[in-house]
Structure 1
């Protein structure tokens, strides 16, 4: 395995350990969309499960929004890796864009996708759902909350959802988007293009450009931001070390 891929996987294992993301007996639904982030997460878990000191299993779950996308590259990848794949059909795209004709569709679409993913995961017997959010997503979400809601918060490495009775985990929070792009290219992982008509035209995309500008002026910006998140005097995140999971 290439050294840079080992480094990538090492960062994911660090997140798993420090935040106790995976424990013995977990059944994890891995939310995949066909994009680079979720396929990178799926690839990583395939490697990690082979040497993990705890027994767990995972199922790839793809919520088909109804865009008529060609999902065969994802199906082929899962077959090659012997990954259980469940594709759940839905009318989310039709509801959001045709029936509701939402002017700001992202919020409703995301809410419906989350609901469909959580329900499907529970139906398949999962107690956790893994999402492919990376460090750039963490930073962008922080600034979106700060600018648009006046709150200093971002999403957590793990959170239990009472209503769904499921725990969300984010194993890729220590790797950057560039790390993900490089992994996907290096390992030739399949990516399915999004057919969403508002793809790339969201508030998050505006913030993404701002974060990229900050990082270009201050190369350590992302790593310093991660350090700030974990500072004990004002922790937005807390460590919960899992001593049963080793690198």
Structure 2
């Protein structure tokens, strides 16, 4: 690689760095994800997304106008072949507080899920329960997960196609019992940027295939669909994401969200002009003298 190419690559990486930090910073501000004196439990799985989230949070911690603590937590689910040394060594290299939490959810999943079936759903629920409990134990006020914009849009379509629900992943979520708050600092970040960032940072990635389960084929199909859309119409995935930030309940069909049953006509107020309201009646068998003259209303 010549010096010109090196300069170009350096420039692109600097742009990527700034873009990711700006996106994370904006998400934190928009949804008030992190507040003064928060203890943020950053959940690190060993994948590119959680590594990037931790890296960016630590960088923002140094420059943020508020004080907050970041504690890295990895849940060792006792999957066979899991390289237990990698994350402690990485956290030690960063000189940050961390916990490795042991919980054999692998055995539970293998016992409960039939061979060949996707284990991701049950595995996720077991993991969430353990992390919620541990957050209380260490006094964490926020639980940070590494889901990004693409994850959120994929989940939206998964729920529509396979669950008949208009539901995604919120940037910030309070648990049902009100005892924990989950945040997703990568909400505005694209997966393609995170892949490049992880390659540049050379994170010690641990693959998420150690459990031997099938891939979540439904999610993979959705991902492939969105990738194809992105190729044909750049910006479409971002537009879909923005749509869940700009919801009009009266234009949907949820009777619990909007009162469609009671929509009385009210013609007592001043009327706004309708666009293209003038019309000429060419034929009718109705006595037009019965009509109300709205021009004087």
TM-score, scaled relative to structure 1? 0.89
| Structure 1: distance between partners of 2:14 and 2:84 | 28
Greater displacement, 167-176 / 156-165: 156-165
Find the counterpart in structure 2 of residue 5 from structure 1. Answer: 17
- The Cα shift of 1:232 comes to 5.8
Which of 140, 154, 170 lines up with 1:156 in the alignment? 170
C-alpha RMSD over aligned residues: 1.8
C-alpha change, 1:158 and 1:215, in structure 2 (3 Å) is: same
Which has the higher relative contact order, 1 or 2, with Cα contacts under 8 A spaced 6 or more apart? 1
Query: Counterparts of 1:13-28 in structure 2 under 5 Å?
Result: 13-28=25-40
- The Cα shift of 1:199 comes to 5.2
Find the counterpart in structure 2 of residue 243 from structure 1. Answer: none
Number of aligned positions between the proteins: 234
Find the counterpart in structure 2 of residue 231 from structure 1. Answer: 246
Q: Which runs of 5+ in 2 are unaligned?
A: 1-12, 251-297
From the CA coordinates, give the structure whose radius of gyration is larger. 2
Pair 1:221 & 2:236 matched = yes
Q: Which runs of 4+ in 1 moved over 4 A?
A: none
Q: Which runs of 5+ in 1 are unaligned?
A: 236-247
8 Å CA contact retained: 2:21, 2:56: yes
Find the counterpart in structure 1 of residue 96 from structure 2. Answer: 83
Query: Counterparts of 1:185-196 in structure 2 under 5 Å?
Result: 185-194=199-208, 195-196=210-211
8 Å CA contact retained: 2:16, 2:193: no
Greater displacement, 226-235 / 162-171: 226-235
| Structure 2: distance between partners of 1:130 and 1:209 | 27
Which of 195, 218, 240 lines up with 1:181 in the alignment? 195
| Structure 2: distance between partners of 1:149 and 1:101 | 20
C-alpha change, 1:202 and 1:37, in structure 2 (3 Å) is: same
Q: SS where residue 152 of structure 1 aligns?
A: coil
Q: SS where residue 82 of structure 2 aligns?
A: coil
Greater displacement, 19-28 / 159-168: 159-168
8 Å CA contact retained: 1:119, 1:164: no
8 Å CA contact retained: 2:118, 2:216: no
Deviation by residue 1:55-108 (Cα, 9 ceiling, x = unmatched): 1101111111111411333222211212211111111111111x2243342221
Which of 38, 43, 68 lines up with 1:56 in the alignment? 68
| Structure 2: distance between partners of 1:101 and 1:204 | 18
Deviation by residue 1:128-187 (Cα, 9 ceiling, x = unmatched): 100000000011000001011111121111011142601000010101110110111112
| Structure 1: distance between partners of 2:88 and 2:55 | 13
C-alpha change, 1:136 and 1:199, in structure 2 (3 Å) is: farther
C-alpha change, 1:36 and 1:71, in structure 2 (3 Å) is: farther
TM-score, scaled relative to structure 2? 0.75
Q: SS where residue 29 of structure 1 aligns?
A: strand
8 Å CA contact retained: 1:71, 1:192: no
Which of 60, 80, 94 lines up with 2:107 in the alignment? 94
Which of 155, 178, 183 lines up with 1:141 in the alignment? 155
